[in-house]
Structure 1
Amino acid sequence: MVQTKQNTTIGFIGTGVMGKSMVNNLIEAGYPLVIYSRTKTKAESLIEQGAKWVQSPKEVAERANVIITIVGYPSDVEEIYLGENGLLENGRKGTYMIDMTTSTPTLAKKIYLEAAQKQIHALDAPVSGGDIGAREARLSIMVGGEKEHFEAVSPVFEALGTNIVYQGEAGAGQHTKMCNQIAIASNMIGVCEAIVYAEKAGLYPETVLKSISSGAAGSWSLSNLAPRMIEDNFEPGFYIKHFIKDMTIALAEAEAMGMDTPGLALAQSLYTRLAQAGEENSGTQALYKYWK
Protein backbone atom coordinates (compact mmCIF):
# COMPACT_ATOMS: atom_id res chain seq x y z
CA MET A 1 0.00 0.00 0.00
CA VAL A 2 1.30 3.46 -0.92
CA GLN A 3 1.83 5.49 2.25
CA THR A 4 -0.28 8.65 1.99
CA LYS A 5 -0.83 11.32 4.63
CA GLN A 6 -4.19 9.75 5.42
CA ASN A 7 -2.85 6.29 6.29
CA THR A 8 0.56 7.17 7.71
CA THR A 9 1.96 8.04 11.11
CA ILE A 10 5.68 8.71 10.83
CA GLY A 11 8.05 7.88 13.65
CA PHE A 12 11.35 9.76 13.52
CA ILE A 13 14.45 9.01 15.57
CA GLY A 14 17.34 11.47 15.49
CA THR A 15 16.69 15.22 15.56
CA GLY A 16 20.22 16.52 15.00
CA VAL A 17 21.50 18.97 12.41
CA MET A 18 19.77 17.20 9.53
CA GLY A 19 17.01 15.30 11.30
CA LYS A 20 15.45 18.43 12.78
CA SER A 21 14.99 20.01 9.35
CA MET A 22 13.69 16.75 7.92
CA VAL A 23 11.04 16.54 10.65
CA ASN A 24 10.08 20.16 9.91
CA ASN A 25 9.52 19.29 6.26
CA LEU A 26 7.41 16.24 7.10
CA ILE A 27 5.25 18.33 9.44
CA GLU A 28 4.83 20.97 6.73
CA ALA A 29 3.87 18.23 4.29
CA GLY A 30 1.01 17.30 6.61
CA TYR A 31 2.23 14.05 8.16
CA PRO A 32 1.57 13.30 11.85
CA LEU A 33 4.92 12.80 13.61
CA VAL A 34 6.03 10.80 16.63
CA ILE A 35 9.64 11.65 17.51
CA TYR A 36 12.34 10.39 19.83
CA SER A 37 15.74 11.89 20.65
CA ARG A 38 18.06 11.20 23.53
CA THR A 39 17.80 14.85 24.62
CA LYS A 40 14.22 16.11 24.68
CA THR A 41 15.25 19.76 24.86
CA LYS A 42 16.75 19.51 21.37
CA ALA A 43 13.30 18.59 20.05
CA GLU A 44 11.33 21.34 21.80
CA SER A 45 10.79 23.43 18.65
CA LEU A 46 9.44 20.35 16.84
CA ILE A 47 7.10 19.56 19.73
CA GLU A 48 5.81 23.14 19.54
CA GLN A 49 4.99 22.53 15.88
CA GLY A 50 2.88 19.48 16.71
CA ALA A 51 5.27 16.53 16.79
CA LYS A 52 4.60 14.11 19.65
CA TRP A 53 7.68 13.21 21.70
CA VAL A 54 8.00 9.74 23.20
CA GLN A 55 10.57 8.29 25.58
CA SER A 56 12.03 5.34 23.64
CA PRO A 57 12.40 3.67 20.23
CA LYS A 58 10.00 1.04 21.59
CA GLU A 59 7.24 3.64 21.85
CA VAL A 60 7.99 4.89 18.35
CA ALA A 61 7.62 1.33 17.04
CA GLU A 62 4.31 0.91 18.84
CA ARG A 63 2.79 4.13 17.47
CA ALA A 64 4.10 4.57 13.89
CA ASN A 65 3.73 2.60 10.67
CA VAL A 66 6.56 4.39 8.83
CA ILE A 67 9.73 4.88 10.88
CA ILE A 68 12.75 6.95 9.84
CA THR A 69 16.07 6.92 11.66
CA ILE A 70 19.05 9.21 11.11
CA VAL A 71 21.54 8.86 13.94
CA GLY A 72 25.29 9.05 14.41
CA TYR A 73 27.08 5.74 14.06
CA PRO A 74 26.43 2.14 12.96
CA SER A 75 26.53 1.15 16.65
CA ASP A 76 23.60 3.52 17.26
CA VAL A 77 21.70 2.01 14.33
CA GLU A 78 22.31 -1.51 15.63
CA GLU A 79 21.09 -0.62 19.12
CA ILE A 80 17.96 1.14 17.84
CA TYR A 81 16.95 -1.61 15.41
CA LEU A 82 18.25 -4.81 16.99
CA GLY A 83 18.36 -4.05 20.70
CA GLU A 84 16.01 -5.65 23.21
CA ASN A 85 13.81 -2.55 23.31
CA GLY A 86 14.46 -1.71 19.67
CA LEU A 87 12.37 -1.20 16.61
CA LEU A 88 12.32 -4.72 15.21
CA GLU A 89 11.45 -6.31 18.53
CA ASN A 90 8.49 -3.98 18.99
CA GLY A 91 7.47 -3.04 15.45
CA ARG A 92 4.14 -4.08 13.95
CA LYS A 93 3.78 -6.32 10.91
CA GLY A 94 3.68 -4.26 7.72
CA THR A 95 5.63 -1.32 9.17
CA TYR A 96 8.15 0.40 6.90
CA MET A 97 11.49 1.12 8.60
CA ILE A 98 13.87 3.44 6.78
CA ASP A 99 17.40 3.99 8.03
CA MET A 100 18.77 7.24 6.57
CA THR A 101 21.97 7.14 8.64
CA THR A 102 25.17 6.62 6.69
CA SER A 103 25.98 3.15 7.98
CA THR A 104 27.54 -0.08 6.73
CA PRO A 105 26.08 -2.11 3.86
CA THR A 106 26.57 -5.25 5.98
CA LEU A 107 24.40 -3.89 8.80
CA ALA A 108 21.75 -2.74 6.31
CA LYS A 109 21.50 -6.29 4.97
CA LYS A 110 21.32 -7.74 8.48
CA ILE A 111 18.48 -5.41 9.44
CA TYR A 112 16.66 -6.20 6.20
CA LEU A 113 16.82 -9.96 6.79
CA GLU A 114 15.72 -9.77 10.43
CA ALA A 115 12.93 -7.36 9.54
CA ALA A 116 11.68 -9.66 6.78
CA GLN A 117 11.30 -12.50 9.30
CA LYS A 118 8.86 -10.28 11.20
CA GLN A 119 7.09 -9.11 8.00
CA ILE A 120 8.52 -5.62 8.50
CA HIS A 121 9.80 -3.77 5.44
CA ALA A 122 13.33 -2.36 5.89
CA LEU A 123 15.03 0.09 3.53
CA ASP A 124 18.49 1.67 3.72
CA ALA A 125 18.23 5.22 2.39
CA PRO A 126 21.22 7.42 3.27
CA VAL A 127 21.14 11.02 2.10
CA SER A 128 23.42 13.71 0.72
CA GLY A 129 22.95 17.46 0.66
CA GLY A 130 23.98 18.57 4.13
CA ASP A 131 22.14 21.01 6.33
CA ILE A 132 21.07 23.12 3.35
CA GLY A 133 19.57 20.18 1.47
CA ALA A 134 17.78 19.00 4.61
CA ARG A 135 16.39 22.47 5.35
CA GLU A 136 15.18 23.08 1.80
CA ALA A 137 13.90 19.51 1.20
CA ARG A 138 16.40 19.07 -1.62
CA LEU A 139 18.24 16.01 -0.35
CA SER A 140 19.60 13.31 -2.62
CA ILE A 141 18.23 10.01 -1.32
CA MET A 142 19.79 6.70 -2.37
CA VAL A 143 17.69 3.67 -1.54
CA GLY A 144 18.34 -0.04 -1.09
CA GLY A 145 15.76 -2.74 -0.38
CA GLU A 146 12.77 -4.18 -2.22
CA LYS A 147 11.49 -1.98 -5.02
CA GLU A 148 7.83 -2.36 -4.07
CA HIS A 149 8.63 -1.13 -0.57
CA PHE A 150 10.55 1.81 -2.01
CA GLU A 151 7.57 2.71 -4.19
CA ALA A 152 5.17 2.46 -1.24
CA VAL A 153 7.04 5.13 0.75
CA SER A 154 8.01 7.34 -2.21
CA PRO A 155 5.56 10.08 -1.12
CA VAL A 156 7.44 10.31 2.18
CA PHE A 157 10.78 10.56 0.38
CA GLU A 158 9.35 13.29 -1.85
CA ALA A 159 8.71 15.45 1.22
CA LEU A 160 12.43 15.29 2.01
CA GLY A 161 14.33 15.35 -1.26
CA THR A 162 14.35 16.02 -4.98
CA ASN A 163 16.81 13.42 -6.26
CA ILE A 164 15.38 10.10 -5.10
CA VAL A 165 16.89 7.01 -6.74
CA TYR A 166 16.23 3.33 -6.12
CA GLN A 167 19.66 1.66 -6.23
CA GLY A 168 18.88 -2.03 -5.76
CA GLU A 169 18.74 -4.72 -3.07
CA ALA A 170 19.36 -4.18 0.63
CA GLY A 171 22.72 -2.48 1.22
CA ALA A 172 22.77 -0.81 -2.21
CA GLY A 173 21.79 2.53 -0.73
CA GLN A 174 24.72 2.42 1.69
CA HIS A 175 27.15 1.35 -1.04
CA THR A 176 25.96 4.31 -3.14
CA LYS A 177 26.53 6.68 -0.21
CA MET A 178 30.09 5.36 0.02
CA CYS A 179 30.57 6.36 -3.63
CA ASN A 180 29.27 9.82 -2.70
CA GLN A 181 31.64 10.16 0.26
CA ILE A 182 34.63 8.95 -1.75
CA ALA A 183 33.95 11.62 -4.39
CA ILE A 184 33.55 14.33 -1.74
CA ALA A 185 36.69 13.35 0.19
CA SER A 186 39.21 14.11 -2.54
CA ASN A 187 37.16 17.04 -3.82
CA MET A 188 37.31 18.74 -0.41
CA ILE A 189 41.10 18.63 -0.52
CA GLY A 190 41.05 20.34 -3.91
CA VAL A 191 38.55 22.98 -2.79
CA CYS A 192 40.65 23.88 0.26
CA GLU A 193 43.90 23.99 -1.70
CA ALA A 194 42.30 26.23 -4.33
CA ILE A 195 41.05 28.76 -1.77
CA VAL A 196 44.36 28.85 0.13
CA TYR A 197 46.25 29.19 -3.17
CA ALA A 198 44.05 32.14 -4.17
CA GLU A 199 44.75 33.84 -0.84
CA LYS A 200 48.52 33.31 -1.05
CA ALA A 201 48.55 34.60 -4.63
CA GLY A 202 46.98 37.86 -3.42
CA LEU A 203 43.65 37.24 -5.14
CA TYR A 204 40.17 37.85 -3.76
CA PRO A 205 38.81 34.34 -3.12
CA GLU A 206 35.19 35.52 -3.57
CA THR A 207 36.05 36.77 -7.06
CA VAL A 208 37.96 33.59 -7.87
CA LEU A 209 34.87 31.56 -6.95
CA LYS A 210 32.81 33.52 -9.48
CA SER A 211 35.12 32.27 -12.21
CA ILE A 212 35.73 28.68 -11.19
CA SER A 213 32.55 27.51 -9.47
CA SER A 214 30.47 27.47 -12.66
CA GLY A 215 33.14 25.99 -14.91
CA ALA A 216 34.73 22.56 -15.17
CA ALA A 217 35.94 22.78 -11.56
CA GLY A 218 32.43 23.31 -10.24
CA SER A 219 31.09 21.16 -7.41
CA TRP A 220 28.59 21.35 -4.57
CA SER A 221 31.43 21.76 -2.08
CA LEU A 222 33.00 24.58 -4.08
CA SER A 223 29.71 26.47 -4.34
CA ASN A 224 28.39 25.86 -0.82
CA LEU A 225 31.35 25.24 1.47
CA ALA A 226 34.12 27.39 0.00
CA PRO A 227 32.18 30.60 0.86
CA ARG A 228 31.96 29.38 4.45
CA MET A 229 35.74 28.84 4.51
CA ILE A 230 36.29 32.39 3.29
CA GLU A 231 33.97 33.72 6.01
CA ASP A 232 35.67 31.62 8.73
CA ASN A 233 32.33 29.89 9.30
CA PHE A 234 33.04 26.36 10.44
CA GLU A 235 29.66 25.54 11.95
CA PRO A 236 28.63 22.00 11.00
CA GLY A 237 26.37 21.24 8.14
CA PHE A 238 28.02 17.85 8.49
CA TYR A 239 30.35 17.00 11.37
CA ILE A 240 33.99 16.08 10.79
CA LYS A 241 33.58 13.20 13.27
CA HIS A 242 30.77 11.74 11.16
CA PHE A 243 32.71 12.21 7.91
CA ILE A 244 35.65 10.30 9.41
CA LYS A 245 33.19 7.53 10.32
CA ASP A 246 31.93 7.44 6.72
CA MET A 247 35.42 7.38 5.23
CA THR A 248 36.42 4.58 7.59
CA ILE A 249 33.46 2.51 6.39
CA ALA A 250 34.33 3.24 2.74
CA LEU A 251 37.98 2.29 3.25
CA ALA A 252 36.98 -1.02 4.84
CA GLU A 253 34.49 -1.82 2.07
CA ALA A 254 37.04 -0.93 -0.63
CA GLU A 255 39.67 -3.11 1.02
CA ALA A 256 37.21 -6.00 1.18
CA MET A 257 36.74 -5.64 -2.58
CA GLY A 258 40.51 -5.54 -3.18
CA MET A 259 40.44 -1.87 -4.22
CA ASP A 260 43.11 0.74 -3.47
CA THR A 261 41.73 4.21 -2.63
CA PRO A 262 44.70 6.59 -2.14
CA GLY A 263 42.64 9.79 -2.40
CA LEU A 264 40.20 8.59 0.23
CA ALA A 265 43.03 7.45 2.50
CA LEU A 266 44.72 10.85 2.29
CA ALA A 267 41.48 12.71 3.08
CA GLN A 268 40.82 10.48 6.06
CA SER A 269 44.32 11.07 7.44
CA LEU A 270 43.97 14.86 7.12
CA TYR A 271 40.55 14.92 8.77
CA THR A 272 41.80 12.62 11.54
CA ARG A 273 44.58 15.11 12.32
CA LEU A 274 41.99 17.89 12.56
CA ALA A 275 39.79 15.81 14.86
CA GLN A 276 42.78 15.10 17.10
CA ALA A 277 43.39 18.86 17.23
CA GLY A 278 39.87 19.40 18.62
CA GLU A 279 37.90 20.02 15.41
CA GLU A 280 35.76 16.86 15.45
CA ASN A 281 32.55 18.87 15.99
CA SER A 282 33.32 21.42 13.27
CA GLY A 283 31.84 21.22 9.78
CA THR A 284 33.76 19.43 7.04
CA GLN A 285 34.76 22.81 5.54
CA ALA A 286 37.14 23.16 8.53
CA LEU A 287 39.63 21.09 6.52
CA TYR A 288 40.69 24.58 5.35
CA LYS A 289 42.32 25.01 8.77
CA TYR A 290 44.86 22.32 7.92
CA TRP A 291 46.60 24.83 5.65
CA LYS A 292 45.95 27.87 7.85
Structure 2
Amino acid sequence: MLTNENTVIGFIGVGVMGKSMARNLITSGYPVVVYNRTKEKAEELLNDGAAWAESPKEVAEKANVIITIVGYPKDVEEVYLGTDGIINNAQANTYVIDMTTSTPSLAKRIYGEAKSKSIHALDAPVSGGDIGAREAKLSIMVGGAEEDFATVLPIFEILGTNIVYQGAAGAGQHTKMCNQIAIASNMIGVCEAIVYAEKAGLNPDNVLKSITTGAAGSFSLSNLAPRIIKGDFDPGFYIKHFIKDIRIAMEEAKQMEMETPGLALAENLYSRLAALGQDELGTQALYKYWQQ
Protein backbone atom coordinates (compact mmCIF):
# COMPACT_ATOMS: atom_id res chain seq x y z
CA MET A 1 0.00 0.00 0.00
CA LEU A 2 1.31 3.44 -0.92
CA THR A 3 1.27 5.97 1.94
CA ASN A 4 2.83 9.37 2.61
CA GLU A 5 5.44 7.59 4.72
CA ASN A 6 6.67 5.07 2.15
CA THR A 7 6.14 7.03 -1.06
CA VAL A 8 8.24 9.64 -2.83
CA ILE A 9 6.48 11.07 -5.86
CA GLY A 10 8.51 12.24 -8.83
CA PHE A 11 6.77 14.81 -11.02
CA ILE A 12 8.06 15.65 -14.50
CA GLY A 13 6.48 18.56 -16.36
CA VAL A 14 5.22 21.53 -14.33
CA GLY A 15 3.45 23.59 -16.98
CA VAL A 16 -0.03 25.09 -16.90
CA MET A 17 -1.60 21.94 -15.45
CA GLY A 18 1.36 20.10 -13.99
CA LYS A 19 2.27 22.85 -11.55
CA SER A 20 -1.13 22.77 -9.86
CA MET A 21 -1.19 18.98 -9.83
CA ALA A 22 2.22 18.80 -8.17
CA ARG A 23 1.19 21.45 -5.65
CA ASN A 24 -1.88 19.42 -4.68
CA LEU A 25 0.34 16.41 -4.00
CA ILE A 26 2.67 18.53 -1.85
CA THR A 27 -0.28 19.96 0.07
CA SER A 28 -1.49 16.40 0.71
CA GLY A 29 1.75 15.62 2.50
CA TYR A 30 3.66 13.60 -0.08
CA PRO A 31 7.37 14.23 -0.59
CA VAL A 32 7.65 15.42 -4.20
CA VAL A 33 10.70 15.61 -6.46
CA VAL A 34 10.20 17.74 -9.56
CA TYR A 35 11.97 18.10 -12.88
CA ASN A 36 11.18 20.49 -15.70
CA ARG A 37 13.26 21.51 -18.69
CA THR A 38 12.98 25.12 -17.50
CA LYS A 39 13.79 25.23 -13.80
CA GLU A 40 12.28 28.70 -13.37
CA LYS A 41 8.81 27.23 -13.91
CA ALA A 42 9.36 25.01 -10.88
CA GLU A 43 10.49 27.75 -8.47
CA GLU A 44 7.04 28.16 -6.85
CA LEU A 45 6.91 24.43 -6.16
CA LEU A 46 10.41 24.44 -4.70
CA ASN A 47 9.29 27.25 -2.38
CA ASP A 48 6.31 25.07 -1.44
CA GLY A 49 8.65 22.29 -0.35
CA ALA A 50 9.35 20.21 -3.45
CA ALA A 51 12.86 18.93 -4.09
CA TRP A 52 14.59 19.58 -7.41
CA ALA A 53 16.05 16.93 -9.73
CA GLU A 54 18.44 17.73 -12.56
CA SER A 55 17.07 15.09 -14.96
CA PRO A 56 14.43 12.39 -15.45
CA LYS A 57 17.17 9.94 -14.48
CA GLU A 58 17.58 11.60 -11.10
CA VAL A 59 13.80 11.59 -10.58
CA ALA A 60 13.75 7.86 -11.35
CA GLU A 61 16.54 7.24 -8.84
CA LYS A 62 14.76 9.13 -6.04
CA ALA A 63 11.06 8.34 -6.46
CA ASN A 64 8.98 5.16 -6.32
CA VAL A 65 5.93 6.78 -7.98
CA ILE A 66 6.62 8.94 -11.03
CA ILE A 67 4.04 11.13 -12.77
CA THR A 68 4.72 12.79 -16.11
CA ILE A 69 2.73 15.40 -18.00
CA VAL A 70 4.85 16.78 -20.82
CA GLY A 71 4.18 18.24 -24.25
CA TYR A 72 4.27 15.79 -27.14
CA PRO A 73 4.62 12.03 -27.76
CA LYS A 74 8.29 12.60 -28.70
CA ASP A 75 8.81 14.12 -25.24
CA VAL A 76 7.09 11.15 -23.60
CA GLU A 77 9.28 8.74 -25.55
CA GLU A 78 12.45 10.58 -24.54
CA VAL A 79 11.49 10.85 -20.87
CA TYR A 80 10.52 7.19 -20.59
CA LEU A 81 12.60 5.27 -23.09
CA GLY A 82 15.75 7.36 -23.52
CA THR A 83 19.08 6.17 -22.10
CA ASP A 84 18.72 8.63 -19.23
CA GLY A 85 14.98 8.11 -19.03
CA ILE A 86 12.68 6.62 -16.45
CA ILE A 87 12.47 2.98 -17.56
CA ASN A 88 16.25 2.51 -17.72
CA ASN A 89 16.83 4.05 -14.29
CA ALA A 90 13.82 3.33 -12.06
CA GLN A 91 13.91 0.60 -9.45
CA ALA A 92 11.77 -2.52 -9.76
CA ASN A 93 8.22 -2.07 -8.42
CA THR A 94 8.19 1.65 -9.20
CA TYR A 95 4.84 2.96 -10.46
CA VAL A 96 5.07 5.23 -13.51
CA ILE A 97 2.04 7.22 -14.64
CA ASP A 98 2.01 9.16 -17.89
CA MET A 99 -0.71 11.82 -17.75
CA THR A 100 0.30 13.44 -21.03
CA THR A 101 -2.13 13.13 -23.90
CA SER A 102 -0.09 10.87 -26.14
CA THR A 103 -0.57 7.99 -28.57
CA PRO A 104 -2.13 4.67 -27.54
CA SER A 105 0.66 2.81 -29.35
CA LEU A 106 3.34 4.57 -27.30
CA ALA A 107 1.45 3.84 -24.09
CA LYS A 108 1.44 0.15 -24.98
CA ARG A 109 5.17 0.25 -25.79
CA ILE A 110 6.01 1.91 -22.48
CA TYR A 111 3.87 -0.64 -20.65
CA GLY A 112 5.74 -3.52 -22.30
CA GLU A 113 9.20 -2.05 -21.65
CA ALA A 114 8.27 -1.30 -18.05
CA LYS A 115 6.85 -4.75 -17.41
CA SER A 116 10.07 -6.35 -18.63
CA LYS A 117 11.83 -4.55 -15.75
CA SER A 118 9.13 -5.17 -13.14
CA ILE A 119 7.96 -1.56 -13.32
CA HIS A 120 4.24 -0.81 -13.22
CA ALA A 121 3.13 1.56 -16.01
CA LEU A 122 -0.22 3.32 -16.43
CA ASP A 123 -1.42 5.74 -19.09
CA ALA A 124 -3.70 8.24 -17.39
CA PRO A 125 -4.41 11.34 -19.47
CA VAL A 126 -6.58 14.02 -17.91
CA SER A 127 -9.25 16.53 -18.85
CA GLY A 128 -10.29 19.68 -17.04
CA GLY A 129 -7.65 22.21 -18.01
CA ASP A 130 -6.01 24.66 -15.65
CA ILE A 131 -9.20 25.04 -13.59
CA GLY A 132 -9.59 21.31 -13.02
CA ALA A 133 -5.90 20.94 -12.16
CA ARG A 134 -5.97 23.84 -9.70
CA GLU A 135 -9.18 22.70 -7.98
CA ALA A 136 -8.21 18.99 -8.03
CA LYS A 137 -11.30 18.20 -10.09
CA LEU A 138 -9.66 16.58 -13.10
CA SER A 139 -11.24 13.76 -15.05
CA ILE A 140 -8.66 10.96 -15.16
CA MET A 141 -8.96 8.11 -17.66
CA VAL A 142 -6.67 5.17 -16.97
CA GLY A 143 -5.19 2.29 -18.94
CA GLY A 144 -2.91 -0.50 -17.69
CA ALA A 145 -3.18 -3.35 -15.21
CA GLU A 146 -6.25 -3.01 -12.99
CA GLU A 147 -4.33 -4.00 -9.84
CA ASP A 148 -1.83 -1.20 -10.52
CA PHE A 149 -4.71 1.24 -10.93
CA ALA A 150 -6.09 0.16 -7.55
CA THR A 151 -2.70 0.69 -5.91
CA VAL A 152 -2.27 4.29 -7.08
CA LEU A 153 -5.95 5.27 -6.82
CA PRO A 154 -5.37 7.26 -3.59
CA ILE A 155 -2.91 9.44 -5.51
CA PHE A 156 -5.35 9.93 -8.37
CA GLU A 157 -7.98 10.98 -5.83
CA ILE A 158 -5.77 13.91 -4.80
CA LEU A 159 -5.73 15.14 -8.39
CA GLY A 160 -9.24 14.50 -9.67
CA THR A 161 -12.84 13.65 -8.91
CA ASN A 162 -13.86 11.57 -11.94
CA ILE A 163 -11.42 8.68 -12.07
CA VAL A 164 -12.28 5.73 -14.31
CA TYR A 165 -10.31 2.60 -15.12
CA GLN A 166 -10.80 2.08 -18.86
CA GLY A 167 -8.92 -1.14 -19.57
CA ALA A 168 -5.54 -2.45 -20.74
CA ALA A 169 -2.53 -0.31 -21.66
CA GLY A 170 -3.50 2.34 -24.22
CA ALA A 171 -7.15 2.45 -23.15
CA GLY A 172 -6.63 5.67 -21.23
CA GLN A 173 -5.21 7.37 -24.31
CA HIS A 174 -7.99 6.07 -26.53
CA THR A 175 -10.53 7.47 -24.06
CA LYS A 176 -8.79 10.84 -24.10
CA MET A 177 -9.11 10.86 -27.89
CA CYS A 178 -12.89 10.46 -27.43
CA ASN A 179 -12.75 13.44 -25.08
CA GLN A 180 -10.83 15.59 -27.55
CA ILE A 181 -13.11 14.61 -30.43
CA ALA A 182 -16.11 15.81 -28.42
CA ILE A 183 -14.39 19.05 -27.41
CA ALA A 184 -13.16 19.89 -30.93
CA SER A 185 -16.57 20.30 -32.52
CA ASN A 186 -18.10 21.71 -29.32
CA MET A 187 -15.55 24.54 -29.24
CA ILE A 188 -16.50 25.51 -32.77
CA GLY A 189 -20.13 25.70 -31.68
CA VAL A 190 -19.28 27.74 -28.56
CA CYS A 191 -17.35 30.32 -30.56
CA GLU A 192 -20.00 30.52 -33.30
CA ALA A 193 -22.69 31.04 -30.68
CA ILE A 194 -20.85 33.97 -29.09
CA VAL A 195 -20.11 35.58 -32.46
CA TYR A 196 -23.75 35.13 -33.47
CA ALA A 197 -24.94 36.72 -30.21
CA GLU A 198 -22.66 39.70 -30.75
CA LYS A 199 -23.74 40.21 -34.36
CA ALA A 200 -27.40 39.97 -33.34
CA GLY A 201 -26.86 42.81 -30.89
CA LEU A 202 -27.40 40.63 -27.82
CA ASN A 203 -25.56 40.80 -24.51
CA PRO A 204 -23.36 37.67 -24.62
CA ASP A 205 -23.27 37.38 -20.82
CA ASN A 206 -27.06 37.30 -20.70
CA VAL A 207 -27.12 34.75 -23.52
CA LEU A 208 -24.86 32.48 -21.48
CA LYS A 209 -27.27 32.70 -18.54
CA SER A 210 -29.91 31.14 -20.76
CA ILE A 211 -27.95 28.52 -22.63
CA THR A 212 -25.33 27.16 -20.21
CA THR A 213 -27.92 25.27 -18.15
CA GLY A 214 -29.96 24.00 -21.10
CA ALA A 215 -29.32 21.31 -23.68
CA ALA A 216 -26.33 23.27 -25.04
CA GLY A 217 -24.51 23.13 -21.70
CA SER A 218 -20.87 22.00 -21.63
CA PHE A 219 -17.62 22.63 -19.78
CA SER A 220 -16.41 24.84 -22.63
CA LEU A 221 -19.60 26.89 -22.65
CA SER A 222 -19.58 27.40 -18.87
CA ASN A 223 -15.85 27.93 -18.31
CA LEU A 224 -14.31 29.15 -21.56
CA ALA A 225 -17.09 31.22 -23.13
CA PRO A 226 -16.90 33.78 -20.25
CA ARG A 227 -13.17 34.09 -20.94
CA ILE A 228 -13.87 34.77 -24.60
CA ILE A 229 -16.34 37.52 -23.72
CA LYS A 230 -13.74 39.13 -21.44
CA GLY A 231 -11.07 38.90 -24.13
CA ASP A 232 -9.06 36.46 -21.99
CA PHE A 233 -7.24 34.06 -24.28
CA ASP A 234 -4.58 32.91 -21.83
CA PRO A 235 -4.09 29.15 -22.06
CA GLY A 236 -5.89 26.72 -19.84
CA PHE A 237 -4.83 24.38 -22.63
CA TYR A 238 -2.59 25.51 -25.49
CA ILE A 239 -3.79 25.58 -29.08
CA LYS A 240 -0.50 23.95 -30.10
CA HIS A 241 -1.19 21.00 -27.82
CA PHE A 242 -4.79 20.73 -28.93
CA ILE A 243 -3.69 20.54 -32.57
CA LYS A 244 -1.35 17.71 -31.53
CA ASP A 245 -4.25 15.88 -29.87
CA ILE A 246 -6.56 16.38 -32.83
CA ARG A 247 -3.97 14.96 -35.20
CA ILE A 248 -3.40 11.92 -32.98
CA ALA A 249 -7.16 11.29 -32.94
CA MET A 250 -7.38 11.71 -36.71
CA GLU A 251 -4.56 9.23 -37.26
CA GLU A 252 -6.06 6.68 -34.87
CA ALA A 253 -9.46 7.06 -36.56
CA LYS A 254 -7.86 6.63 -39.97
CA GLN A 255 -6.33 3.34 -38.83
CA MET A 256 -9.82 2.24 -37.80
CA GLU A 257 -11.21 3.35 -41.19
CA MET A 258 -13.42 5.96 -39.53
CA GLU A 259 -14.30 9.33 -41.01
CA THR A 260 -13.97 12.36 -38.69
CA PRO A 261 -15.37 15.43 -40.49
CA GLY A 262 -15.76 17.38 -37.25
CA LEU A 263 -12.13 16.81 -36.33
CA ALA A 264 -11.02 17.72 -39.83
CA LEU A 265 -12.80 21.07 -39.61
CA ALA A 266 -11.38 21.81 -36.16
CA GLU A 267 -7.87 20.91 -37.32
CA ASN A 268 -8.23 23.25 -40.29
CA LEU A 269 -9.45 26.20 -38.19
CA TYR A 270 -6.90 25.79 -35.42
CA SER A 271 -4.08 25.30 -37.93
CA ARG A 272 -5.00 28.63 -39.51
CA LEU A 273 -4.61 30.34 -36.13
CA ALA A 274 -1.32 28.55 -35.54
CA ALA A 275 -0.05 29.79 -38.91
CA LEU A 276 -0.77 33.32 -37.67
CA GLY A 277 1.43 32.74 -34.62
CA GLN A 278 -1.41 32.26 -32.15
CA ASP A 279 -0.69 28.67 -31.09
CA GLU A 280 0.49 29.73 -27.61
CA LEU A 281 -3.01 30.96 -26.78
CA GLY A 282 -5.74 28.89 -25.13
CA THR A 283 -8.19 26.81 -27.13
CA GLN A 284 -10.90 29.43 -26.56
CA ALA A 285 -8.90 31.71 -28.91
CA LEU A 286 -10.62 29.89 -31.78
CA TYR A 287 -12.99 32.86 -31.45
CA LYS A 288 -10.29 34.90 -33.18
CA TYR A 289 -10.91 32.98 -36.40
CA TRP A 290 -14.05 35.06 -36.91
CA GLN A 291 -12.03 38.24 -36.37
CA GLN A 292 -9.60 37.60 -39.22
Shorter-chain TM-score range: over 0.9
How big is the shift at 1:57? 0.3
Equivalent residue letter for 1:91: A
Aligned to 1:66: 65
Equivalent residue letter for 2:70: V
1:209-239 per-position Cα deviation (integer Å, ceiling 9, x unaligned): 0000000000000000000000000000000
SS in 2 for 1:89: coil
Aligned to 2:231: 232
Output aligned runs, 1:271-290, within 5 Å.
Answer: 271-290=270-289
Equivalent residue letter for 2:207: V
How big is the shift at 1:4? 1.6
Aligned to 1:248: 247
Q: Aligned equivalents of 2:124 and 2:245: distance in 1?
A: 15
Q: Aligned equivalents of 1:49 and 1:191: distance in 2?
A: 37
Q: Aligned equivalents of 1:110 and 1:166: distance in 2?
A: 19
1:141-180 per-position Cα deviation (integer Å, ceiling 9, x unaligned): 0000000000000010001000000000000000000000
Aligned to 2:84: 85
Output aligned runs, 1:195-210, within 5 Å.
Answer: 195-210=194-209
Equivalent residue letter for 1:44: E
Equivalent residue letter for 1:59: E
Equivalent residue letter for 1:235: D
1:116-150 per-position Cα deviation (integer Å, ceiling 9, x unaligned): 00000000000000000000000000000000000
SS in 2 for 1:38: coil
Output aligned runs, 1:17-96, within 5 Å.
Answer: 17-96=16-95
| Alignment of 1:15 onto 2:6 | no
How big is the shift at 1:271? 0.2
Output aligned runs, 1:68-217, within 5 Å.
Answer: 68-217=67-216
How many pairs align?
A: 291
Q: Aligned equivalents of 2:208 and 2:120: distance in 1?
A: 45
Q: Aligned equivalents of 1:107 and 1:101: distance in 2?
A: 11
1:228-284 per-position Cα deviation (integer Å, ceiling 9, x unaligned): 000000000000000000000000000000000000110011000000011100000
SS in 2 for 1:237: coil
Percent of matched pairs sharing the same residue: 73
TM-score, normalised to structure 2, is: 0.99
Q: What are structure 1's unaligned runs of at least 5 residues?
A: none
Aligned to 1:266: 265
SS in 1 for 2:179: helix
Equivalent residue letter for 2:104: P
TM-score, normalised to structure 1, is: 0.99
